[in-house]
Structure 1
Amino acid sequence: METRRKFKGSDAFLAESARTIYNLFTQDLERFTALNTRFTSEYAAAFLHQIDAADTVVTDVSTLAKQGVETQKVLIEMQNASRVYNRIKSHAMWAFPDNPAVLKEFTTGYRDASKNQPKMLVFLETLEKVVTNYLDDLTDVTKGGMPASIVEELATIKDELKSANTQQEVYKKQRLVITQDRISALNDCYTTLVQIINTAQLVFANEPAKRAQYSYRPTTGSSSITDFVGQVAPNETKVITQVSYDKESFIGFENRGETTLQFDISTDEVTLNGNMVELESGAINNQPMEWLLADVTNGTKVNILAYNPSTTSTGSYWVSTDV
């Protein structure tokens, strides 16, 4: 299965935010350890390693640039192939001006081949055999007048196109691996970031200003991501929005108020019947739809719900979807 980003916002924003939280975390490490002994100097060091990996892993920009180089090589060899073909065709027309059947042997398949590199490779293989069959007439100074060196040039271009095409296909496959490794590194960094942010809401339960420092609030200009910000009254179950179910799509949740909130997706408007996400004040969480509610067919309309169990306090939330 393809690895997908667990986080909202740009990769650069994630790395920058993680480094900021890391610096805060190391300053407050003793207070975290007092709450949960898993938070140690080794944990902090591992988090820093994840941040460094997120910073240094191959970027999409450089990956695409490398793929562009491989594509350019193929385009150049395709142009070279067309050029040598047109030269050979010209000599064939001199050698066989009154023999359309023979001329057809030189030209059949070129039109499709000119638009497709694998087809061009097959065409060049065939053209090479046709040239060999009619080499005497083609090179005869009284007929085709073709320099014998064109035969070697044709073979060279064929081999170079084959090599360029192979390298391009190899790089396409490598790019998938590079991209997946990159996303995994970023996801690891984000997972630790969320652990620290959510624990900070408990560590600094009575210090709102300190809790606010431990936050991750990306902004995005992507048209595929929709944010919902609102409030939910005491003891209310609120339908935030209705979306089409996509098991691999992520939903981001953040509790922006002072009271605990519960979130879920449901096929009705009142029942939190999946894997509920409960967030303390200031906490965040991102989950794929499949985790929130399994055994639902893609495309089914589902509701994103928020429930406020408090009987006295109004809750505030931020929810983000990429559906």
Structure 2
Amino acid sequence: MPKSEMRRTYLGSDADMIQTAKIIFGSFLEDKDAFRTFDSDYGDAFITRFKIDLQEAEDIAKIGAVTGELIGLSADVESAMEKSKNYFLLTKHFVEKAFPDNRGVWKEFGYDSYEISRRYQSDMIQFMNQFYNSAMKYRNELTAVNFSQQMIDEIGSLKRELDEANQRQENFKKSRTTMTQDRLTKLNSCWKEISEIARLGKLIFANDFGRYQKYVINPSGQPGVPAPPEPPQAPQSTQGQA
């Protein structure tokens, strides 16, 4: 696992964690005097700060991992890819008209690499660059068969559109990784605080069964004592059976 990768320190979903935190914090507010007596750090200043932290964590949990912005950027790349591919297929008519059966020139226009390049945006960007350079190299021959300079310039425009769309998408992915790490930091911090409240609650109310139970978090991350396993069934007697 890369050093920069961060994971949740709690089980279950973000929404489940927030729900547990709100329940435990609600119990804490009911028993705040007992907590303050036990440790004065858990007074009004802590309550004010944690309310803010809990609200921030709840807002983050609502955002979710998938954003409309990334979907939009991916759509821009797909659109630019399709326009580039379609324009190449259109241009082949004029290339073959200007250079009939000249496979050496066709290769310069990317005929042999198109099928692979069309699958990957980074390869397609390089393909379009080669495509444009070849069109400029043979512009006299192309214009002679009605493929105008304006049509050649369109190849360069499509290449730039694809390149820029790809850069926007990749830059957003990198920034999104940073945003995700920041969000996880806040969510994990909220869980750490609420786990500490639960731990202290069990210490403070060790001799008060009812109040102690309010601070129990079961292994699934939910508040409350997990249901005990079903007792094993006693084996049936076979005495007297034939």
TM-score (norm. length: structure 2): 0.83
**Native 8 Å contact 1:59 1:182 kept in 2:** no
Residue from 46, 49, 53 that aligns with 1:43? 46
* Residues 169-188 of structure 1 mapped to structure 2, 5 A cutoff: 169-188=170-189
Q: Is this contact kept in 2: 1:9–1:218, CA < 8 A?
A: no
Q: Distance in 2 between matches of 1:83 and 1:155?
A: 14
Deviations 1:173-231 (A, max 9, x none): 11111111111111100011011111111222222122222233475xxxxxxxxxxxx
Cα–Cα, structure 1 residues 78 and 157, in superposed 2: closer, same or farther, change >3 Å?
same
The residue aligned with 1:122 is 126
Counterpart of 1:160 in structure 2 is 161
What TM-score results when the alignment is normalised by the length of structure 1?
Answer: 0.64
Q: Equivalences for 1:61-80 in 2 at 5 Å?
A: 61=64, 63-80=66-83
CA distance in 1, matches of 2:38, 2:205: 10
| Alpha-carbon distance in structure 1 between the residues aligned to 2:61 and 2:123 | 33
**Residue 108 of structure 2: which of 88, 105, 108 is its match?**
105
Q: Aligned ranges for residues 1-323 of structure 1 at < 5 Å?
A: 1=3, 2-57=5-60, 61=64, 63-106=66-109, 107-140=111-144, 144-217=145-218, 219=220
Structure of greater relative contact order (alpha carbons < 8 Å, 6+ residues apart)? 2
Distance 1:133 1:94 in 2: 16
Query: Which 5+ residue runs of structure 1 have no aligned equivalent?
Result: 220-251, 258-315, 318-323
In the alignment, is the contact (CA less than 8 A) between 2:77 and 2:162 conserved in 1? yes
Whether the 8 Å CA contact 2:28–2:197 is kept in 1: the answer is yes
AA aligned to 1:94 is K
Structure number with the higher strand fraction is 1
2:6/2:181 contact within 8 Å kept: yes
Cα distance in 2 for residues equivalent to 1:18 and 1:134: 69
Structure 1 match to 2:233: none
2:128 & 2:18 partners in 1: Cα distance? 49
Offset at 1:255? Answer: 11
Give the distance between the partners of 1:256 and 1:18, measured in 2 at CA. Answer: 16
Say which is worse superposed, 22-31 or 5-14, in terms of deviation. 22-31
Cα distance in 2 between the residues matched to 1:178 and 1:28: 36
The count of aligned residue pairs is: 223
Give the gaps of 5 or more residues in structure 2: 230-242
Shift of the alpha carbon at 1:74? 0.9
Higher helix share: 2
Q: Which amino acid aligns with 1:92?
A: V
Task: State the distance in 2 between where 1:256 and 1:9 align.
Answer: 16
